[in-house]
Amino acid sequence: MEYYDLDWNDVQQRAYKVTKRILTWRASHNIQSVAMYPIPRGGVYAALHILRCEGSAGFYITDDIAKANVIIDDLLDTGTTAKRYTAKAVLEQRIEFPQPLPPVFFLVDKQQENITSWVRYPWERMNKDETIEDNVTRLLEFIGEDPTREGLIGTPNRVAKAYKDLFSGYDQKLEDLITVFEDGTCDEMVVLRRLEFHSCCEHHMLPFSGVAHIGYIPNKKVIGVSKLARILEVFTRRLQIQERIGEQVTDALNANLQPLGSACVLEAKHHCMMCRGVEKQGAEMVTSSLTGAMRDDPQARAEFLQFIR
């Protein structure tokens, strides 16, 4: 994974810019004191740095959003978090439209700055593994467990390691895995069936698993058979929906082999509907992605489906 790293000096410089924007806002609204509500927890660091800036006299931090003039956070990405806390402020402060809502100020605006990689702050890099373990510990406490009992000692660390394995697809690049061979003599369908896979639903972060069937019709190029499994692993070892995996596999085959046709069919059981929700234990979801001759030629399509039965 690529990172956009900030050091302490970067954070302070950004805090100065935020302070200037808040001062402009304060002057336009004739407000004497600025009560900052920091969104936990990155917003707390941002607010503390703002208090260190010249011109921040009259600024203070409040943990009561009902008393806040402004909301502070470290990062704007999708905007979902900011909207949630703005809505909370409306409820707590009983704001009636068209009164202005408390503005939200950010150290980093990924959209405006066109930052596509993961932003890392210095406080996150100080001990990244410990931060992950702390979050798991808090999750255990949230569900009502005692993280200090014998059976759970070491669990946060084990969960962190398990997640690195379960989501290892984010660290893999297709170009490092795919080996293509020029072979003009192979023009018959190639099918690798019943490839076991495990993935994780992006909606509930619960596992789903099953088998995949991958095939293609060569166009003077073939791929090492194990690489078909590797391609599948790259995309399944991420937060996913089943429908997307098949399309990603066929897109990868088309981009690297330019085959006459490609196909990927997945059959899986989803724990998000087995152990919660509708609780249907025997339900199995089947999805497919067919391209080129595999989709448009009835004979090729029928041949592939016959192979995987």
Q: Which residues are catalytic?
A: 201-204, 242, 270, 272
| Per-residue b or e along 140-158, where b marks 16 or more CB atoms closer than 10 Å to that residue's CB | beeeeeeeeeeeeeebbee
- Look up residue 120 and give its two tokens: 């890392």
Task: Provide the phi-psi class of 79: left if phi over 0, else alpha when psi is between -120 and 50, else beta.
Answer: left
| Planar angle of CA 159, 117, 132, nearest 5 degrees | 20
In the block, tokens 């931060």 appear at 131
Biggest alpha carbon distance in the chain? 80
